[in-house]
Amino acid sequence: MSTSRSVLVIGGGAAGSAATILLRRAGITVDLIEAKDDWNTTAGSGITLQGNALRVLRELGVWDQVEKSGFGFGSVGITTPDGTVLHFADDLRTGGDDLPATVGMQRPALQRILIDAVRASGAAVRLGVRATSLDQSADGPGVTVRFSDGGERRYDLVIGADGLASATRASIGITDRPEPTGMAIWRIAAPRPAGVTRTDLAYGGPAYIAGYCPTGEDTLYAYVVEANRDRASIPPASYADEMRGLARHYGGFWPEITAHITDPQKVNYTWFDRLLVEGSWHRGRVVLVGDAVHCCPPTLAQGAALSLEDAWVLAQLLTATDTWDDALFRTYYERRIARVRPVVEASVQIGQWQLDGVRDADVPGLMGRTMALLRELP
């Protein structure tokens, strides 16, 4: 294919970074803009990366760094609130047998790894910059973009990877917006007790779920899921007290973890949302990836994985042909929606069963069936 094409990527998270790295590898000119000056290197506690996410990270050439920075494991435990282990099961290796089933890592560490790969790719990066308008009215295919710093440029393609509150999605007339599912999550990064070598999930007690995931030799992230509350009624200064008040009811390793829930600035509170844009993920030469078109509760830990897969599939299609047209973007959508929809629906269903108090729900069966689909290449 011709490599004289130019692409603007809006958003420097996992999906935007992955798309940038893969398109630059093919020799395509890529500009990346990110609204946050710190490029998201300070936000977030931890992230769970299952095998299908690791498969894409290996394709990006960053698997060695991820492996060294994270904590790989292959099982999940189910406990009572007092910490008694009821059951544990091996995780399915959705990335293939040559990759771990799961790697937990600190979210800022993953972001820094991707940033280094983007910069090494030769992409032009501008931080603290937004796209203020996308104009496709000029003759011929392409998009004229105006920027918040006063600049303007025409591109052959714009990729909107600007997340759940995507301004790109709204600017091209897609009116879908994320909807709350009724649950919320408290998260914190903390020191890892030596005995924590996998994810354990406690069901029951004052919260729906209390869980943790090892993220390194000395770190983990812990989380507690409850019904969502009016965020305006919870002062940020009380975040540590709120999370600690829930976590103190759990046993096992939780008392050691709870002792470190002291700084409200290190506690994150987020509602669970659902979004699945149906019909198409593009308008003309603007196409969306990642959370801009789909998101779901982290009950299957697939948010980052699906976003990375979006970027991988789109880059494969774009670099295989000179014809960037509606048919190509329709192919992208059809490949992705068939894979994303069952994950979104299953993730929401698992949470809804808990909200409804359904005690005989086949959660393991639904998880197993959904994860089995993800072992196949996207």
**CA–CA separation, 369 and 41 (whole Å):** 35
Same domain membership, residue 184 and residue 169: no
Please report which confidence band the pLDDT of residue 1 belongs to, taking 50, 70 and 90 as the band edges: low
The residue assigned the tokens 């991988």 is: 312
Q: Are 169 and 160 in contact (CB under 8 A)?
A: yes
Whole-number pLDDT of residue 3: 62
Residues 133 and 29 in one domain: yes
CATH number at residue 142: 3.50.50.60
Q: Does the pLDDT value for residue 139 go beyond 90?
A: no
Q: Which residues pair with 222 in a beta bridge?
A: 188, 212
Do the beta carbons of residue 116 and residue 125 sit within 8 Å?
no
Of 105, 17, 37, 29, nearest in space to 65 by CA: 105
Q: Give the Cα separation of 102 and 197 in Å (integer).
A: 11
CA dist list (Å): 134 to 6, 59, 66, 156, 327: 15, 31, 35, 12, 21
Same domain, 172 and 258: no
**pTM listed for this prediction:** 0.96
Quick: pLDDT tens for 74-103: 999 999 999 999 988 899 999 999 999 999
- Would 87 be classed as within a structural domain? no
pLDDT of residue 44: 81
Contact 107, 44 (CB under 8 A): yes
Rounded to the nearest 5°, which phi and psi values hold at 81? -55, -30
3-state secondary structure of 215: coil
Number of H helices and E strands in the chain, helices first, is 10, 20
Residue 93 lies in a domain: no
What is the share, in percent, of the chain residues with pLDDT greater than 90?
Answer: 92
Domain extent for 319 = 6-69+106-178+275-374
246 and 203 belong to one structural domain: yes
Give alpha helix (H) positions in the chain.
Answer: 14-25, 51-59, 63-69, 107-121, 167-171, 239-247, 254-258, 303-319, 326-356, 363-374
Residues 236, 326, single domain; the answer is: no
Residue found under tokens 């990375």: 308
Same domain, 173 and 204: no
- Burial grade of 353 (CB within 10 A; 0-12, 13-18, 19 or more): middle
Residues 244 and 221 in one domain: yes
Confirm whether 90 is domain-assigned: no
Residue 266 sits in the same domain as residue 279: no
- Do 50 and 139 fall into the same domain? yes
Residue at 42 is within a domain: yes
* Domain-located, residue 145: yes
Q: How many CA atoms lie within 13 A of 132 on its CB side?
A: 10
Which pLDDT tens digit goes with each residue over 287-338?
999 999 999 999 999 999 999 999 999 999 999 999 999 999 999 999 999 9
Q: Is residue 1 part of a domain?
A: no
Which CATH number belongs to the domain containing residue 214 in this structure?
A: 3.30.9.30
Residue 318 and residue 338: Cα distance in Å, rounded?
Answer: 20
> Helices 14-25 and 303-319 meet at what angle, rounded to 10?
20
pLDDT range class, residue 243, cuts 50, 70, 90: very high
**Residues contacting residue 362 through CB under 8 Å, at least 6 positions apart:** none
Does 320 fall in a domain? Answer: yes
> Do both 58 and 125 map to the same domain?
yes
Listed residues 258, 273, 288: the one ending a domain: 273
Q: What mean pLDDT is predicted for residues 192-199?
A: 96
Q: Is residue 123 part of a domain?
A: yes
On whether the CB atoms of residues 306 and 335 are closer than 8 A, the answer is no
Verify that 126 and 261 share a domain, yes or no. no
Considering only CA atoms, give the Rg of the chain. 21
> HSE-up of 289 (CA within 13 Å, CB side)?
32
Query: How many domains does the chain divide into?
Result: 2
Q: Which of these three, 251, 273, 295, is where a domain ends? A: 273
Both 111 and 173 in a single domain? Answer: yes
The residue out of 217, 240, 273 marking a domain boundary is 273
